[in-house]
Amino acid sequence: MKALPIYFVLILLAVTGCDNEKVVNETNLPAQATEFIEAHFPDAGIARVVRDRDDLLTSYDVILDNQVELEFDRQGECYSVDAPGNERIPDSVVPLKVLEYVQDNYPDEVITEWEKSKTTQEVKLSNRKELVFNLSGTFLRIDD
Protein backbone atom coordinates (compact mmCIF):
# COMPACT_ATOMS: atom_id res chain seq x y z
CA MET A 1 0.00 0.00 0.00
CA LYS A 2 2.89 2.40 0.67
CA ALA A 3 4.23 1.84 -2.84
CA LEU A 4 1.04 3.26 -4.33
CA PRO A 5 1.73 6.93 -3.37
CA ILE A 6 5.30 6.62 -4.68
CA TYR A 7 3.92 5.26 -7.95
CA PHE A 8 1.66 8.32 -8.32
CA VAL A 9 4.55 10.68 -7.55
CA LEU A 10 6.66 9.04 -10.26
CA ILE A 11 3.85 9.35 -12.80
CA LEU A 12 3.32 13.00 -11.89
CA LEU A 13 7.03 13.73 -12.29
CA ALA A 14 7.12 11.93 -15.62
CA VAL A 15 4.13 13.85 -16.95
CA THR A 16 5.18 17.33 -15.76
CA GLY A 17 8.85 16.81 -16.61
CA CYS A 18 8.20 16.13 -20.30
CA ASP A 19 8.56 18.79 -22.92
CA ASN A 20 5.36 19.47 -24.76
CA GLU A 21 6.03 21.31 -28.00
CA LYS A 22 3.18 21.85 -30.39
CA VAL A 23 2.94 23.79 -33.63
CA VAL A 24 0.00 26.17 -33.27
CA ASN A 25 -1.74 28.77 -35.38
CA GLU A 26 -0.45 32.34 -35.08
CA THR A 27 -3.84 33.33 -33.64
CA ASN A 28 -2.79 31.40 -30.51
CA LEU A 29 -0.06 33.96 -29.79
CA PRO A 30 -0.76 36.38 -26.94
CA ALA A 31 -1.83 39.82 -28.19
CA GLN A 32 1.33 41.44 -26.83
CA ALA A 33 3.48 39.09 -28.95
CA THR A 34 1.50 39.86 -32.09
CA GLU A 35 1.79 43.61 -31.41
CA PHE A 36 5.57 43.24 -30.90
CA ILE A 37 5.97 41.48 -34.24
CA GLU A 38 3.83 44.06 -36.05
CA ALA A 39 5.75 46.95 -34.48
CA HIS A 40 9.31 45.68 -34.99
CA PHE A 41 8.96 43.44 -38.06
CA PRO A 42 6.21 45.09 -40.13
CA ASP A 43 7.39 43.57 -43.42
CA ALA A 44 7.75 40.02 -42.13
CA GLY A 45 5.09 37.36 -41.90
CA ILE A 46 4.86 34.60 -39.32
CA ALA A 47 6.08 31.32 -40.80
CA ARG A 48 5.71 29.10 -37.73
CA VAL A 49 4.62 29.25 -34.08
CA VAL A 50 5.56 26.56 -31.58
CA ARG A 51 3.97 26.56 -28.13
CA ASP A 52 6.32 25.01 -25.60
CA ARG A 53 5.06 23.79 -22.25
CA ASP A 54 7.89 22.81 -19.96
CA ASP A 55 7.53 22.30 -16.21
CA LEU A 56 4.22 24.19 -16.16
CA LEU A 57 5.76 27.17 -18.01
CA THR A 58 4.43 28.15 -21.40
CA SER A 59 6.46 29.96 -24.04
CA TYR A 60 6.15 30.60 -27.76
CA ASP A 61 8.90 30.18 -30.35
CA VAL A 62 8.14 32.16 -33.50
CA ILE A 63 9.97 31.97 -36.79
CA LEU A 64 9.28 34.77 -39.24
CA ASP A 65 9.43 34.35 -43.00
CA ASN A 66 12.73 36.31 -42.99
CA GLN A 67 14.14 33.55 -40.71
CA VAL A 68 14.31 35.75 -37.58
CA GLU A 69 13.58 33.69 -34.48
CA LEU A 70 11.68 35.20 -31.55
CA GLU A 71 10.81 33.81 -28.13
CA PHE A 72 7.92 35.04 -26.00
CA ASP A 73 6.73 34.17 -22.53
CA ARG A 74 3.15 33.20 -21.69
CA GLN A 75 2.05 36.86 -21.51
CA GLY A 76 3.63 37.65 -24.87
CA GLU A 77 6.70 39.50 -23.64
CA CYS A 78 9.65 39.00 -25.96
CA TYR A 79 12.82 37.73 -24.29
CA SER A 80 14.89 36.63 -27.29
CA VAL A 81 15.48 37.80 -30.87
CA ASP A 82 17.93 36.01 -33.16
CA ALA A 83 18.62 37.02 -36.76
CA PRO A 84 19.95 34.47 -39.24
CA GLY A 85 23.66 34.55 -40.02
CA ASN A 86 25.08 37.96 -39.27
CA GLU A 87 21.95 39.92 -40.11
CA ARG A 88 21.09 42.95 -38.02
CA ILE A 89 18.08 42.84 -35.74
CA PRO A 90 16.00 46.04 -35.69
CA ASP A 91 17.40 48.72 -33.39
CA SER A 92 13.90 49.17 -31.98
CA VAL A 93 14.11 45.71 -30.38
CA VAL A 94 17.16 46.57 -28.28
CA PRO A 95 16.73 48.74 -25.15
CA LEU A 96 18.03 52.25 -25.84
CA LYS A 97 20.83 52.25 -23.24
CA VAL A 98 22.21 48.95 -24.60
CA LEU A 99 21.92 50.17 -28.18
CA GLU A 100 23.76 53.41 -27.37
CA TYR A 101 26.56 51.50 -25.62
CA VAL A 102 27.06 49.28 -28.67
CA GLN A 103 26.94 52.21 -31.11
CA ASP A 104 29.48 54.18 -29.02
CA ASN A 105 31.89 51.31 -28.36
CA TYR A 106 31.45 49.09 -31.44
CA PRO A 107 30.47 51.47 -34.26
CA ASP A 108 31.45 49.01 -37.01
CA GLU A 109 29.42 46.10 -35.61
CA VAL A 110 25.71 45.31 -35.69
CA ILE A 111 23.60 43.49 -33.11
CA THR A 112 22.56 40.07 -34.41
CA GLU A 113 20.97 38.67 -31.23
CA TRP A 114 19.35 40.02 -28.08
CA GLU A 115 18.27 37.94 -25.10
CA LYS A 116 16.85 38.85 -21.70
CA SER A 117 16.87 36.65 -18.60
CA LYS A 118 15.58 37.31 -15.10
CA THR A 119 18.72 39.25 -14.11
CA THR A 120 20.61 40.23 -17.27
CA GLN A 121 20.33 40.94 -20.96
CA GLU A 122 22.85 39.99 -23.58
CA VAL A 123 23.58 41.04 -27.13
CA LYS A 124 25.68 39.26 -29.72
CA LEU A 125 27.53 41.38 -32.23
CA SER A 126 28.44 40.63 -35.83
CA ASN A 127 32.05 40.08 -34.66
CA ARG A 128 30.67 37.30 -32.39
CA LYS A 129 31.39 39.19 -29.16
CA GLU A 130 28.71 38.76 -26.53
CA LEU A 131 28.08 41.75 -24.28
CA VAL A 132 26.25 41.33 -20.99
CA PHE A 133 24.21 44.12 -19.36
CA ASN A 134 22.00 44.31 -16.31
CA LEU A 135 18.28 44.79 -16.85
CA SER A 136 18.58 48.57 -16.68
CA GLY A 137 21.16 48.52 -19.50
CA THR A 138 24.41 49.04 -17.56
CA PHE A 139 27.32 47.20 -19.19
CA LEU A 140 28.68 44.35 -17.04
CA ARG A 141 31.14 42.28 -19.08
CA ILE A 142 32.16 40.67 -22.36
CA ASP A 143 31.54 36.93 -22.80
CA ASP A 144 33.75 35.72 -25.66
Contact 46, 26 (CB under 8 A): yes
Mean pLDDT of the chain: 89
pLDDT in tens, 49-101: 999 998 789 999 999 999 999 999 999 999 999 999 889 999 999 999 999 99
Helix (H) or strand (E) holding 105: helix 96-105
Contact 9, 53 (CB under 8 A): no
Listed in sequence order, the residues at least 6 apart from 12 whose beta carbon sits closer than 8 Å to its beta carbon are: none
Distance CA 115, CA 123 (A): 6
More confident residue, 24 or 59: 59
Asked whether the predicted pLDDT for residue 117 surpasses 50, the reply is yes
Other C-beta atoms lying within 10 Å of the C-beta of residue 83: 22
